[in-house]
Structure 1
Amino acid sequence: MSRAARSRIRWNGDAVLGRARQGAVRGLRLGAEHLLAESRTEVPIAEGTLERSGTSTVDEHELVAGVTYDTPYARRVHEDLSARHSPGRKAKFLEDPANREAAVIGELIAAQVRRALRG
C-alpha cells in the first residue's frame, strides 16, 4: 500500500480581492478621466464656463465613477438638440462620448485589474 500524497493549500482570497478592488478603483479613475477628456472636445463653448465645470469622481466604496458638468444650464445645453453651436460642439456632449467610448473605458478598467492581480 502506498502512502497518500499530502498537500497544503494557502488561501489568499482576501488579498486577491483587495488587489482586484484597488485595480478597479484605478481603472475607474482612468476611465472617468478619459470620458471627461473626450466630452470636453464636444461641449459647447460660449465663454468656457461649462467646459471648465466638468469633473470626474470615483466612489471607492461603491466602485462607481461619474462625470458631471456643474452649471445651472448644463442639463439644458446637453438636452437641447435644436440649439446651434460652434463646429464640432454639440448637445449630447456627455452622452455620445460615453456611448462611443464604453468599450475603451471597460478595457481601461480591466487592464488595471489585471495589472493589480499580477503584482
Structure 2
Amino acid sequence: MTRQQIRWNGDAALAAMRAGAVRGVRLGAEHLLQVANGRTPIEEGTLERSGVVSVDEGDVSAAVSYDTPYAVRQHETLDYQHDQGREAKWLEKSLHEENGTITEIIAAQVRRAVEQ
C-alpha cells in the first residue's frame, strides 16, 4: 500500500480568496462608476467628476458615491430635464443592469487568486 500525504494550506487559501474578493469588489465598483458616469446628468461635468469608489477591506465591501450638494436631488428627482442618455436614478439603474457583470468580476478575481 502506498502512502500519500496531502498538505492542506487552508489559511493561505482563505487569505488568497479574501484578497481576490477585495480586489474584485474594488474592480466591480470601478466598473459601476464608469457605467454610471455615462448616465450622470451633466451640465459642466462637476457631478460626474465627483464620483468616487470607496472600499472597506475589513468588510469586503465597496460604495460608489457622488459628492456635490445637489447629487441626491439630481438622482432622486424624476421630473428634471436631462440631455439625451443622461437621467435621474443613474447610479441605481446602472447597478441593477450591471449586477451580473459586477458579480462576474468579483468571481473572476477570487478564482484568479486561488489559482495562483
| TM, length-normalised to structure 1 | 0.93
Q: Computing the radius of gyration over CA atoms, which structure comes out larger, 1 or 2?
A: 1
Which residue of structure 1 lines up, in the alignment, with residue 70 of structure 2?
73
Q: From 107, 110, 113, give the equivalent of 2:107.
A: 110
Measure the CA separation in 1 of the matches of 2:45 and 2:4. Answer: 65
- Percent identity reads 57
Deviation of 1:29 (Å): 1.0
Which residue of structure 1 lines up, in the alignment, with residue 96 of structure 2?
99
Which residue of structure 2 lines up, in the alignment, with residue 83 of structure 1?
80
**Structure 1 letter corresponding to 2:35:** E
Q: Secondary structure at the match of 1:47?
A: coil
After superposition, the C-alpha distances for 1:8-60 in whole angstroms (9 at most, x for unaligned) are 34221100000001111111111001000000000000111100000011111
| TM, length-normalised to structure 2 | 0.95
Measure the CA separation in 1 of the matches of 2:32 and 2:77. Answer: 21
Measure the CA separation in 2 of the matches of 1:34 and 1:60. Answer: 18
**Structure 2 letter corresponding to 1:109:** I
Q: From 12, 22, 31, give the equivalent of 1:15.
A: 12
Q: Does 1:61 align with 2:62?
A: no
Q: Secondary structure at the match of 1:101?
A: helix
Measure the CA separation in 1 of the matches of 2:53 and 2:59. Answer: 15
CA RMSD of aligned residues (A): 1.2
Measure the CA separation in 1 of the matches of 2:72 and 2:95. Answer: 16
Measure the CA separation in 1 of the matches of 2:111 and 2:2. Answer: 34
After superposition, the C-alpha distances for 1:53-106 in whole angstroms (9 at most, x for unaligned) are 000111111100110001111001000001100111000010000000000000
Q: Which runs of 5+ in 1 are unaligned?
A: none
**Structure 2 letter corresponding to 1:70:** D
Runs of 4+ in 1 over 6 A off after TM superposition: none
Measure the CA separation in 2 of the matches of 1:87 and 1:5. Answer: 71
